[in-house]
Structure 1
Amino acid sequence: MVVHRIKMFILSLVCFIVPVHSSQLPNATIMDLSYKNMDFAMNLYRKIANYHDKNIFYSPLSVSTSFAALLMATDGLTHKEILQVCNLEQLDVDDQPQLIPRLFQDLQDNISHNGSLQVEQSMALFIRQNFEVEKTFEDDLKIFFQADINVLDFGNPKETIKSINDYVRQKTADKVPEMISTLNAMTQLLLVNTIFFQGAWQTPFNPNFTETAPFHIDNYNIVQVPMMFVEGRFYTMEDEPLGARVLKLPYKDGVSMLILLPNENMDYTMIDDEINATMFLNWISQLKKRKLEVRMPRFHLEQSYLLHDILPGMGLKSLFTYSADLTKLSKNKDLTLSEALHKAVIEVDEVGTTAAASTAVHISTHSLSMQFFINRPFFFSIYHEETKSLLFMGRVINPTKN
């Protein structure tokens, strides 16, 4: 039997699992979806963090959007596993098969409705000539994800690779110049999702005050980094039980970066094991404005992840095996997903950022010092304020490493 392979490329934190009730949410809202995506994002983050103690950066929205699209192509066990791993089980309503894709469509519309906000997400399907895709799946991709459908001559891999990389490069404003370098001869289809964000700080850092300063990776390793400086009124709070401080740095037009800085005596890996979606929302709700001097390293991260190596450990197993149920994608039953790649890039400087990519928490707002000095490993998230949707998440252990 010949098994055709599908390659899926996704462009674009930890495992605190909120109990999932069996009840469905037939009247689910964008906020319900954002919360589900947030929990998935943190579960995925924890899984990535288990692999290494290095920098992390990825787009949870890009990953979840891609697998939401793939939901429409799957059935049986594969469908159930995607729902479970992506934390979408409660949104899967028996008599509303289009509820989940519609919620993703509504979320995207809500994020992009502000014309001055530069958050652009796009999806494209690249299909081998003579490979027949089910019309319902193709139509739904266009309707709910505004996907571009492209038929390419996969027999000419050089031109196919160029076409796909050109698409990604154009959608990410040249931040990801090369998404793929090779193409499996058995590949029948590629699903590509891109997300691009470019934001200017509401209160920019003054480049004249940027100076070289030490960044403490751990008790034994120190690197010198360009440390930015800004003084102003910012939203901040302290989570005493967690042992960390939180700072919100807003961009223009409704997107913010939330920074979680562990206390000096706190091992960041301990916080890795604790933070979750409920905490994130509580931090946002408890922020208080005060005058602060903020020092933050300038950094650039470029990260790639093989999701087909990571997601099976979270429970998504059948999709990457010969038992994958992709019967809603094509009548050809001999299909499997061979690869799921994620690549994300972020640049943070004085002007702003360019990125192409339930436990009770006892929170106090005790008096903080007048400085917020980010000179040790920290976590950060870039989120859409109105929907609380996480666009990007990351961890900076060494800002000098790409």
Structure 2
Amino acid sequence: MSEALNTAVSAANNDFTKDVYWDLAANKAENAIISPLSLHVVLGLASFGAAGSTAEAMMKGLRIKHSETLLKDYKGIIDQLSKSPELKIANKIYFAQDVKLNPTYQTQAVENFYSDLDKADFSQAQVAAKQINDWVSNHTNDKIKNLIDPSSLTPDTKLVLINAIHFKGKWATPFKPESTKDGAFFLDETNSVQVPMMHIKESFYMYEETGDDGFKMLELPYGSKEEQRFSMHIFLPNKRAGLAALEKKFFQTNESFAEKFGNIVKSTYSSEVDVTLPKFKIESTWEMNDLCKHLGMEVAFSNNADFSLMTENKMPLQISKVVQKAFIEVNEEGTEAAAATVCRIRLKRSLVHYEKPPPLQFKADHPYLLVISYKRSNLVFVATVNSFSGQKSFAEQDISPAEKVQKTEL
């Protein structure tokens, strides 16, 4: 694989991922999907309209140390990721009829974030919400719908900043639909549910730590063997109820998750692996105001906020709401994932050669963590698969065996 992105923004996003995941998803019983990158980009777009202590707080929250090349770094990461056929990134700024954007901020948004600009009449909440939601749906292959609730838009709303990410990757070696069969997924040490389990035996990169607190990591690459930019990395605890301990090991240490992740990837070895992996679909909605405040951006939400660089007449603005919706579906063909993050701004108020051994076993039949990364380094999505409540097994679906195979070919 070719070199990963090595910029202040990519390093900051990887560091940022650790805090975002721990705040939102760790120690939760339900499934979760988050795109820290989507949040990082939209808050980065907002940060260039901030001044003084607000700008400092935004940079600190984004885990960015001062960099003169910051705008070029954002441009570079969006440029590079957008070259991949699997991933599309889009940014948009909607602004009220009475807002005139500061020409410098407008130039930065368009040239470095590739942001589209459009006016919206926020006093017509239903119309404005449909305008925004249609754009988001169009840029996420209809996977993210109703990101904006009309009730959240008021005449005080002056700008809405949006980032949308859509990923669709085909496995380098796809699973065969006819090999998918019902199997047990353990919710804890003893309780299980029957879910469709995909199966493949192929050469993959693996990593393993033994012991009760250990885990296995399997890398499933996307794309052709000649050009593999993206991979899914599945971290499977050795114990059925080991996910919470694994999360603590990864996200509650002095070592950054990105460093730990990088060291694990470098230590992988290629081997024939007998893989069992459930099909799944996860949708998450995150209210992110508290997260942003925990990251150190409290001032941006207060009456002391200074976003005077956004508008020509230095409107007194503050962030009122940050929301993300994210989606992921994994099946025999590959993975589709999407995320959209909105930041609403309003007026202030109060490899080794050896004799071939038997295949290793990688049976993802209990809760696990997964990461989708670019070139085995830059983190785009992170998710946990904990449960399958509401998801039907093949046996529960009213379809014939022939239709079962057809149904898996999504």
Tell me the TM-score normalized by structure 2: 0.83
Q: Deviation digits for residues 263-316 of structure 1, max 9, x if unmatched?
A: 126621111112122110011111111001100000000001111122212222
Alignment of 1:3-402 (within 5 A): 30-50=6-26, 52-89=28-65, 92-93=66-67, 96=68, 99-114=69-84, 117-182=85-150, 183-185=152-154, 186-240=156-210, 243-252=214-223, 253-264=228-239, 267-275=242-250, 276-330=257-311, 331-357=313-339, 370-385=360-375, 388-400=377-389
Q: Is the 8 A contact 1:380 1:393 kept in 2?
A: yes
Q: Identify unmatched segments of 5+ residues in structure 1.
A: 1-28, 358-366
Q: Is the 8 A contact 2:188 2:240 kept in 1?
A: no
Q: Identify unmatched segments of 5+ residues in structure 2.
A: 251-256, 340-356, 392-410
What's the offset of the Cα at 1:239? 2.9
1:180–1:214 Cα change, 3 Å: same
Tell me the TM-score normalized by structure 1: 0.84
Q: For 2:240 and 2:198, how far apart are their aligned partners in 1?
A: 23
Q: Is the 8 A contact 1:311 1:317 kept in 2?
A: yes
1:125–1:299 Cα change, 3 Å: same
Q: For 2:263 and 2:153, how far apart are their aligned partners in 1?
A: 46
Letter in 2 for 1:247: L
What's the offset of the Cα at 1:334? 2.4
Q: Deviation digits for residues 349-380 of structure 1, max 9, x if unmatched?
A: 000000012xxxxxxxxx99621000000000
Q: For 1:352 and 1:148, how far apart are their aligned partners in 2?
A: 30
In the alignment, what sits opposite 1:6? none
Q: Is the 8 A contact 1:298 1:399 kept in 2?
A: no
What's the offset of the Cα at 1:105? 0.9
**SS at 1:111 equivalent:** helix
Q: Deviation digits for residues 103-154 of structure 1, max 9, x if unmatched?
A: 011112122234xx22000000001101122111111100001111001222
Letter in 1 for 2:331: D
What's the offset of the Cα at 1:220? 4.3
What's the offset of the Cα at 1:240? 3.9
Q: Deviation digits for residues 172-218 of structure 1, max 9, x if unmatched?
A: 01111221122421211100100000000011111101111111111
What's the offset of the Cα at 1:231? 1.1
CA RMSD of aligned residues (A): 1.9
Letter in 2 for 1:274: K
Q: For 1:58 and 1:297, how far apart are their aligned partners in 2?
A: 19
Runs of 4+ residues deviating >4 angstroms:
none
In the alignment, what sits opposite 2:397? none
Letter in 2 for 1:178: N
Q: Is the 8 A contact 1:60 1:391 kept in 2?
A: yes
Letter in 2 for 1:201: W
Q: For 1:130 and 1:251, how far apart are their aligned partners in 2?
A: 46
Q: For 1:180 and 1:82, how far apart are their aligned partners in 2?
A: 23
**SS at 2:306 equivalent:** coil
Q: Is the 8 A contact 2:240 2:366 kept in 1?
A: no
What's the offset of the Cα at 1:333? 4.3
Q: For 2:113 and 2:49, how far apart are their aligned partners in 1?
A: 14
Q: For 1:86 and 1:263, how far apart are their aligned partners in 2?
A: 33
What's the offset of the Cα at 1:401? 5.7
State the aligned residue count. 356
What's the offset of the Cα at 1:100? 1.3
Q: For 1:169 and 1:32, how far apart are their aligned partners in 2?
A: 30
In the alignment, what sits opposite 1:360? none
Letter in 2 for 1:395: T
**SS at 2:309 equivalent:** coil
1:130–1:33 Cα change, 3 Å: closer
Q: For 1:374 and 1:53, how far apart are their aligned partners in 2?
A: 17
Q: Is the 8 A contact 1:68 1:101 kept in 2?
A: no
Q: For 1:214 and 1:73, how far apart are their aligned partners in 2?
A: 51
Range that drifts further, 53-62 or 42-51: 42-51
